[in-house]
Structure 1
Amino acid sequence: MSTKATHPPDTPLYPIREVSRLTGVNSVTLRAWERRYGLICPQRTPKGHRLYAQDDIIRIERILQWLNRGVPVSQVADLLDQPETVEAPVPDAGDWASQRQQLLATIETIDLPRLEALYQQSLALYPLSMVINELWQPVVKTLEAKWAIEPDELVRRALEAFLRSQVGIRLHYANQATRGPLILLNAMPDDPGPLWMLMAALMASEQGYRVQLLDHTLPLAELPQAVKRLHCSMVLLTSGQREADDYVRRALPDTAKTLNVPLGVCGEVARLRDAELRDSDVHMLGDDLPQAIARLRPLLRESGIL
């Protein structure tokens, strides 16, 4: 079946921004699916603006279903018009395992032009939550486990610098384009770098939050003043480490009581320390970053901020 749009004249049509909001797929990815793979074919206004019908939205949801089953985006077109019971094909070189291997090798050889190409490609072809879950988060965990045994400061710092630059550019323009709540994001003191913080910043920005990053760990005692002066709606702390016992068991809960906004924790530390802080004023959001960021909106509503 052709993807050419042939909708009746009275069919409701939606602009790309609204379709992005409804499906969770950003506009860059929607355009890439159309141009590179012909997965969708929206109507166009006389000025060339894309307009999507309900059928297109349903098709986008089916694309997401196939991607979530591990099918590479290059194979989805052949499956969209097949019966729902058709089995997913055996993944080829475009599957997530292969992409993780490519990304790991590229990071460890410090091939920055290739790293930028892989980064941009992943964000263009897949929803960000999928990219974080299936690609970047597993790769960062693999690297941190390796670096715990064999430290490689050059590779770590090169990766951090790359992501700080890419994420910083994205945040600059995203913060200007939204009026969403401002999240103050900071790494915890034992975290050797900002990798978890940068991934969380990407996810938060994608979900419509404004994000304020701090390059260096801010002492907990200074958070109340930072919240007041920056007009933050929430503080989110990240770490890929266990963090010190006194910091987790005493300092964090005490600080949470002094803030007039929620204090959340995500990253590996949230998984490792969940039981210790579950009954405190600290909100443990887990180590799955897309899920952690998804929990912010209900939390802000419960706190009366939204």
Structure 2
Amino acid sequence: MDYKSSNVEKWYAIREVSEMTGVKPVTLRAWQRRYNLIHPHRTEKGHRLYSQAHIDHIRLIQSWLAKGVAIGKVKELIVGNQPLHAELEASQVQRESIDTLLNALAQLQLAKVKAMIRGILKEYPIAMIEARLVDPIIQSLSQVKKPQRSLQMGLFQSAMITALSAILESENKAAHKGGCLVVNCEASGCIGAWIWAISIAGQGYTVTMLDGVTDLSGLVTHASLDNQWLAIYANHTLPATQKNALKQLGIQLGERLMLSPLLNAFDKSQEPV
């Protein structure tokens, strides 16, 4: 029977579920294969199909992850209907994982660092990566003595960008909404910018990343923007000349201009009351 013709229940393909929940297909597969958290229906050709109940379950998993629970502990909490204090034990599991990664960074073990980062990126929604991985690592590295901190931070940043670039390339292959130029106004290699770019690609756009851009004026009236979206990333207030360029781009593109959350907040704070 064609699942789309069923009057009993609507079924969704994995890419549709990914766009609805923000959880990448690779992560949904990992939750099923490694943690036995989800049991989608399979078509005769082996394609995964998800019901509204599956989507609700995915959102329940996300709610536990947002509380700081490690993915490996989620199933027993859901099945056992455990109280919230169980989060403390689960969070300790996450802390141990971060400590293992920090030790690999201290030893400059590139292969191990890359493998651990790939595993974490596969198991957690991209929207949670900064809070679950990036922020704890950067905070811990800030306590390391400066000469070693520079080495370890460089290794972490390099490994993260390599992994995030691969994810972005994979997301682009499934794009169906047209192009989006993502411009990073922070220093080249800003992890937050790459994560934001992936979240945009996850919405179905083909993302082209421009890294470490310090002057937005070259984009104003640029012919390449006639048929695609523009997304600007920054986590600091832009100088006056760049704000003016941003204003012109807003007039030119209208709703086709996206701003990163902090930049959007900065922009609104400058609006006249």
- Name the TM-score class by shorter chain: 0.7 to 0.9
Contact 1:99–1:135 (CA<8 Å) still a contact in 2? no
Q: Which residue of 2 aligns with 1:172?
A: 169
CA 229–118 in structure 1, closer or farther in 2 if over 3 Å, else same: same
Counterpart of 1:121 in structure 2: which amino acid?
Answer: G
Q: Which residue of 2 aligns with 1:292?
A: none
Separation in 2, partners of 1:277, 1:13:
40
Contact 1:44–1:50 (CA<8 Å) still a contact in 2? yes
Counterpart of 2:259 in structure 1: which amino acid?
Answer: G
Q: Which residue of 2 aligns with 1:214?
A: 210
Separation in 2, partners of 1:187, 1:24:
24
Contact 1:96–1:135 (CA<8 Å) still a contact in 2? no
Contact 2:41–2:49 (CA<8 Å) still a contact in 1? yes
1:163 Cα deviation after fit: 2.9
Unaligned runs of 5+ in 2: 1-6
Counterpart of 2:270 in structure 1: which amino acid?
Answer: D
Q: Which residue of 2 aligns with 1:51?
A: 49
Separation in 2, partners of 1:192, 1:149:
21
Q: Which residue of 1 aligns with 2:259?
A: 264
CA 135–164 in structure 1, closer or farther in 2 if over 3 Å, else same: closer
Q: Which residue of 1 aligns with 2:72?
A: 74
Q: What is the aligned-residue RMSD (CA, Å)?
A: 3.5
Separation in 1, partners of 2:38, 2:10:
17
Counterpart of 1:170 in structure 2: which amino acid?
Answer: I
CA 138–16 in structure 1, closer or farther in 2 if over 3 Å, else same: same
Higher relative contact order (CA 8 A, sep 6+): 2
What's the TM-score, normalizing by structure 1?
Answer: 0.69
- Report SS of the residue matched to 2:34: helix
Q: Which of the residues 104, 111, 117 maps onto 1:119?
A: 117
Separation in 2, partners of 1:120, 1:65:
22
The answer to which structure has the higher helix fraction is 2
Unaligned runs of 5+ in 1: 1-8, 282-306
Contact 1:66–1:88 (CA<8 Å) still a contact in 2? no
The answer to whether 1:161 aligns with 2:158 is yes
Q: Which residue of 2 aligns with 1:233?
A: 229
Q: Which residue of 2 aligns with 1:255?
A: 245
Separation in 2, partners of 1:48, 1:14:
14
What's the TM-score, normalizing by structure 2?
Answer: 0.76
1:236 Cα deviation after fit: 0.9
Contact 1:70–1:91 (CA<8 Å) still a contact in 2? no
Q: Which residue of 1 aligns with 2:4?
A: none
Separation in 2, partners of 1:10, 1:193:
48
Separation in 2, partners of 1:77, 1:171:
29
Counterpart of 2:217 in structure 1: which amino acid?
Answer: A
Q: Which of the residues 121, 135, 138 maps onto 1:137?
A: 135
Counterpart of 2:202 in structure 1: which amino acid?
Answer: E
